[in-house]
Amino acid sequence: MQGTSQTPSRPTTAYTPTDRTVPTRSPDRASYDKELVHAILDEGYVCHLGFVRDGAPVVLPTLYGRVGERLYVHGSTGSRPLRMAGGADPGLPVCLTVTHVDALVLARSAFHHSINYRSVVVHGTAHDVTDPDEKRQALDALVDHVVPGRSYDSRPANKKELAATAVIRLDLDEVSAKVRTGGVNDEPEDLALPHWAGLVPLRKGYEAPVADPGLAPGTALPGYLAEL
């Protein structure tokens, strides 16, 4: 975000909390730190995008990419939220949420069961991306969010594909992260109970890639996939 350093009331290292980014529960778990928010966003590629249709909420899973302080979501030009955001104005009010689950937290008491997680919630208005260069950059970011470096090792979208793809932009402005880390928080009087308590970390990462049977002869597994 070039230029935000000219606004002393808003440090470039943190988002400004608003009424809807300050949680009513566990405010100690909330953070507005940009580095933390970016790290949580960059570790994932599937978000849950919420919008309002006929007065009722709709939540759909979809891929996303980040370029600086902008998030991008793409889809067919025929898809509902992308049609609703169609045209640059007035845009579509959305809430975009990304969640990573790190561990199960098993307490001696049912009440204190929890999970360790890191989430980011972004509120704002999504706008249709009409600039061709921004659209191409957004689509590269979407592919590279899933596999870093992949956009350079695939055929770029052609004119027909670009025309069939809608991209919407959501600025990172009204943003919060929420994180739970650490161990079990049982009541002191429960510590002697005979129930096992502790953390169960989730497995992360990927299994070995499975090549398409029709690979062109001599096509080797690229390094960026071997390192995943």
User: Residues 21, 81, 98, CA angle at the centre, nearest 5°?
Assistant: 40
Give yes or no for a contact between 114 and 146, defined as CB atoms under 8 angstroms apart. Answer: no
**57 near its own copies, judged by CB under 8 A:** yes
CB of 168 to its own copies, least distance (A): 14
Distance CA 172, CA 59 (A): 19
Pick between residue 14 and residue 157 the one whose CB is nearest to its own copies. Answer: 157
Considering only residues 183 through 212, tell me which ones interact with its own copies, judged by CB under 8 A.
183-184, 186, 190-212
The binder of its own copies chosen from 104, 134, 171, 173 (CB under 8 A): 104
The binder of its own copies chosen from 1, 14, 63, 67 (CB under 8 A): 63
Of 122, 102, 101, 111, the C-alpha closest to 176 is 122
The binder of its own copies chosen from 14, 17, 36, 50 (CB under 8 A): 50
Of 125, 134, 139, the C-alpha closest to 171 is 125
Give yes or no for a contact between 41 and 120, defined as CB atoms under 8 angstroms apart. Answer: yes
Pick between residue 86 and residue 93 the one whose CB is nearest to its own copies. Answer: 93
The binder of its own copies chosen from 39, 59, 88, 163 (CB under 8 A): 59
**216 near its own copies, judged by CB under 8 A:** yes
Is the sign of the CA dihedral 183, 188, 191, 195 positive or negative?
negative
Question: Pattern of binders to its own copies over 138-157, x per CB under 8 A?
Answer: -xx--x--xx--xx-xxxxx
**What does R_g of the chain's alpha carbons equal in angstroms?**
21
Q: Please tell me whether residue 10 adopts helix, strand or coil conformation.
A: coil
**97 near its own copies, judged by CB under 8 A:** yes
CB of 155 to its own copies, least distance (A): 4
**49 near its own copies, judged by CB under 8 A:** yes
